[in-house]
Amino acid sequence: ADLSHRFTFENRGAAGGKIPLGLKRKGLRIVVTGGAGFVGSHLVDRLIARGDSVIVVDNFFTGRKENVMHHFGNPRFELIRHDVVEPLLLEVDQIYHLACPASPVHYKFNPTNVVGTLNMLGLAKRVGARFLLTSTSEVYGDPLEHPQVETYWGNVNPIGVRSCYDEGKRTAETLTMDYHRGAGVEVRIARIFNTYGPRMCIDDGRVVSNFVAQALRKEPLTVYGDGKQTRSFQYVSDLVEGLMRLMEGEHVGPFNLGNPGEFTMLELAQVVQETIDPNAKIEFRPNTEDDPHKRKPDITRAKELLGWEPVIPLRKGLPLMVTDFRQRIFGDHKEGLA
Ligand code: NAD
Ligand code: UDP
Ligand code: UDP
């Protein structure tokens, strides 16, 4: 790709013009929407460590200042409280668009996925920035193909209780491709499968955070339905690596980013028992409507074109998350800094 339109933060003023990124790469100016959230804050850590200048745009809907607080005072870090549903004017080289009410408790009736994505694409178009959308495996709905390949169009109920999220992300993908084809915006699309790790919301109702918090609090693990539905769980650092490779690479995607290791919810409960408390009880609850029965990524495309695959299996990643949850639930003073 022609990178000559991108120029570095440091030398822009000094040199008074655009300097192509050559051998010696200096920091880029990067916006991370949703950067105070779970995935976003880990991404920000990596970008800052790499030497980039990062602007986090977040309305703290589910994100927390604590997740990025350790960067306060760093001149290459900036935090803006802003709802991406409102227009935003910035000058940047790359946009990682993660802002999204991501959990079932929060995503209902929210226009972020459509209006927020439109605004960030408008921003990318205006300043010539590269735009990466974090879409989701939920675009496959309750899939009729297993595992899911990127070429599968999905099986989504347009009027169900989950539709705001699924269809919102599908629309976001459509907008992204329209801006790519119609306005020449450089875009990247990631379809993220279930991801877990430190800084995950404790009470947003996702299965891994629920089970871990329940086991730590000596409450029964709540298995919805018969517990035979499957998911694939990816550790957050694997995802962040995939997102960065996608952004820097030459391919639009969409790319599945997930860990192909597939577990039933009962198996997950068992891993949580082994990791935290072998005596933790299991309690069955009715399942939510339209719950996908199976989900597992086919990551052949990401392996071949991005040279990426996850390296942290569930049994290795879960203990890292437990350490963080233990600190946050039982409150010593390291909240959010895991
Ligand atoms: P998260 O809730 O921790 O992060 C989302 C962030 O977006 C939060 O900080 C929230 O405050 C912010 N936000 C929400 N609406 C906003 C708005 N209108 N304006 C500005 N900020 C807003 O969730 P996450 O797990 O870190 O998810 C990050 C992205 O990855 C999301 O787009 C999500 O759809 C996608 N994703 C995550 C998973 C997963 O398992 N974690 C799976 C599939 C897709
Ligand atoms: N937008 C933004 N920041 C920018 C440029 C655009 O938030 O730097 C918003 C803008 O307000 C609009 C959306 O992005 O709502 C789409 O912009 P675009 O220019 O593509 O569409 P238009 O404004 O021409 O309808
Ligand atoms: N689930 C569960 N117990 C819980 C929370 C969720 O058994 O306390 C189930 C849920 O019904 C679904 C799976 O775990 O089948 C994954 O749910 P989650 O909301 O974490 O992710 P998603 O459905 O978006 O993949």
Which atom of ligand 2 lies at the shortest distance from residue 183's CA?
Answer: 20
Query: pLDDT band for position 9 (50/70/90)?
Result: very low
Which atom of ligand 3 lies at the shortest distance from residue 138's CA?
Answer: 24
Q: Give pLDDT tens digits for 135-183.
A: 999 999 988 998 999 999 999 999 987 788 899 999 999 999 999 999 9
Q: Give pLDDT tens digits for 232-268.
A: 999 999 999 999 999 999 999 999 999 999 999 999 9
Q: Which-ligand-closest: CA of 117?
A: 2
Query: How far, in Å, from the CA of 179 to the mean position of ligand 3?
Result: 33
Does the pLDDT of residue 10 top 50, yes or no? Answer: no
- What was the pLDDT predicted at 107? 59
Average pLDDT, the chain: 90
- What was the pLDDT predicted at 6? 43
Query: pTM value?
Result: 0.91
* Whether residue 256 has its Cβ less than 6 Å from ligand 1: no
Which atom of ligand 2 lies at the shortest distance from residue 87's CA?
Answer: 7
* Whether residue 29 has its Cβ less than 6 Å from ligand 3: no
235 is catalytic: no
Strand ranges for the chain from DSSP E? 29-33, 53-58, 77-81, 94-97, 130-136, 187-192, 195-196, 221-224, 230-232, 234-235, 255-257, 262-264, 282-285
Query: How far, in Å, from the CA of 205 to the mean position of ligand 3?
Result: 8
SS3 135: strand
- What was the pLDDT predicted at 164? 85
Structural contact between residues 288 and 335, judged by C-beta atoms closer than 8 angstroms: no
Q: Give pLDDT tens digits for 323-338.
A: 999 999 998 654 444 4
Choosing from 96, 107, 165, 196, which is the catalytic residue? 165
Which atom of ligand 3 lies at the shortest distance from residue 210's CA?
Answer: 8
* Whether residue 172 has its Cβ less than 6 Å from ligand 1: no
Protein residue with its CA nearest to atom 18 in ligand 3:
206
Query: How far, in Å, from the CA of 209 to the mean position of ligand 2?
Result: 36
Q: What share of the chain is helix, strand, coil (3-state, %, to 5)?
A: 40, 15, 45
Protein residue with its CA nearest to atom 16 in ligand 3:
207
- What was the pLDDT predicted at 178? 98
